[in-house]
Amino acid sequence: MQEPKTLYWEGGTLYILDQRLLPHREKYLRCTSYRQVARAIKDMAVRGAPAIGVAAAYGLVLAARGGAKPDKTLEKVRKAAEALRSTRPTAVNLFWAIDRMVSVADWAVSKGLDLYQALLQEANRLMEQDVETNKRIGEYGARLIPDGATVMTYCNAGALATAGYGTAIGVIRAAVEGGKKLSVLVPETRPRLQGARLTAFELSRLGIPYRIITDNMAAMLMSRGQVSCIVVGADRVLARTGHVINKIGTLSLAISARYFNVPLYVAAPLSSIDFESTPEMVKIEERGEEEVLRVAGKLIAPKGSRAVNLAFDITPPELVTSIITEWGVYEPSGLASLRRYSTT
């Protein structure tokens, strides 16, 4: 069965697959304004670090639509960029994509070019590049996965979290495409269940065998030698220190993995690498308490209960075996050298 597109552009409209409805319904949101795109990112209809970057890029295309005066349109694009920047704070890809689009907008206006067309071309380029990048990550990563392995992944770092193919799932699928027989362990990933809903959906479409586990089973399976390696994605990797910021729960997996000698690989494109920040500078998203207190909309805790809902955690470099990028496999301490490939 074909995998659905995470998002696509057609006839001046951005269509976003509403991931909140998966795996049971495949419905696209029609976005004709940047505000609709910002809402879709904030409410996680579209999620995953590279995917929200690409969605925001098209949001800026929509902001430039129909503007007759270049200066006024540029102002509108800048305003839209600020709104899109404030949707989610942690994934650096969002800021990377917006910065890239804003500099294209400045350049187009300075050259007297059609702003809308220039932004549309750049958004299309970002989308295409993301898929190519993920395939390259897959190629490098597949070499690290032994035939017959049981691979644990986390959250969803698949096609749905990107413009296509996926990063961590890209590694798994490239290994399978290369003829390796793998099975995948999928922690459900509370509270939004990206593992149980989205990763399981993708793996079932790809015909890759998987089993879902509750998040708290991971350490026990590692202690029994039932996990060959772990491959996760990232929302931000800090080149200065090697820290990896990813879905809440990654840190617990990393601590268990180190204790039980299970390699932990992080699949991350250059667009997820932050060359400036230290861990203290990164804002970890805190989402609404309701996400923890309710499952599928139903309250599971006593009325009036309070909850903590940190969406991401920070894993120190000493717990990470290697980082798989489109430029090769790196030690967490060796990422600064990637700056030479950076386009921003």
The footprint of ligand MRU (CB under 6 A) covers 47-50, 91, 155, 157, 161-162, 167, 194, 233-235, 246-247, 311
Closest-approach residue to ligand MRU (CB): 233
Q: How far is the CB of 267 from ligand MRU (least distance, A)?
A: 7
Are the C-beta atoms of 262 and 268 separated by less than 8 Å?
no
18 belongs to the catalytic site: no
Nearest CA to 67 among 83, 78, 55? Answer: 78
- Long-range CB contact pairs, 333-336, < 8 A, 24+: 333/242, 335/237, 335/238, 335/239, 335/242, 335/273, 336/239, 336/240, 336/275
Q: In the bound complex, what is the minimum distance in angstroms from residue 339's beta carbon to ligand MRU?
A: 21
What is the C-alpha radius of gyration for the chain, rounded to an integer number of angstroms? 20
Smaller CB separation from ligand MRU, 73 or 256: 256
Report the first-to-last Cα separation within the chain, whole angstroms. 38
Non-local (6+) Cβ contacts of 265 within 8 A are: 141, 144, 171, 229, 230, 231, 232, 320, 321, 322, 323, 324
Nearest Cα neighbor of 208 from 256, 254, 159, 169 is 169
What minimum distance in Å lies between the beta carbon of 225 and ligand MRU?
25
Integer CA distances (angstroms), 147 to 144, 172, 175, 232, 242, in order: 10, 11, 8, 19, 29
Report residue 308 as tokens: 């903590």
- Shortest Å distance, C-beta 258 to ligand MRU: 19
Residue placing its CB nearer to ligand MRU in the complex, 77 or 151: 151
- Side-chain half-sphere exposure of 214, counting CA atoms within 13 A: 3
Closer CB to ligand MRU, 77 or 323, in the complex: 323
Shortest distance in whole angstroms from residue 232 CB to ligand MRU: 6
Nearer to ligand MRU, 64 or 274 (CB): 274
Q: What are the structure tokens assigned to 218, written together?
A: 């991971």
The token duo for 149 is: 């392995």
* Contact in structure between 295 and 74 (CB atoms under 8 Å): no
Residue 18, token pair as written in the block: 């509403």
Nearer to ligand MRU, 50 or 138 (CB): 50
Task: Describe the strand order of the beta sheet including 264-267 as a list of residue ranges.
Answer: 210-213, 183-187, 150-152, 229-232, 264-267, 322-325, 328-330
Quick one: DSSP state of residue 170? Answer: H
Q: Which residue has the tokens 């790809």?
A: 206
Q: Least Å distance between CB 327 and ligand MRU?
A: 17
Give least dist CB 189 to ligand MRU, A: 8
Identify the active-site residue in 43, 71, 114, 235: 235
Q: How many residues does the chain have?
A: 344
The catalytic residues are: 235
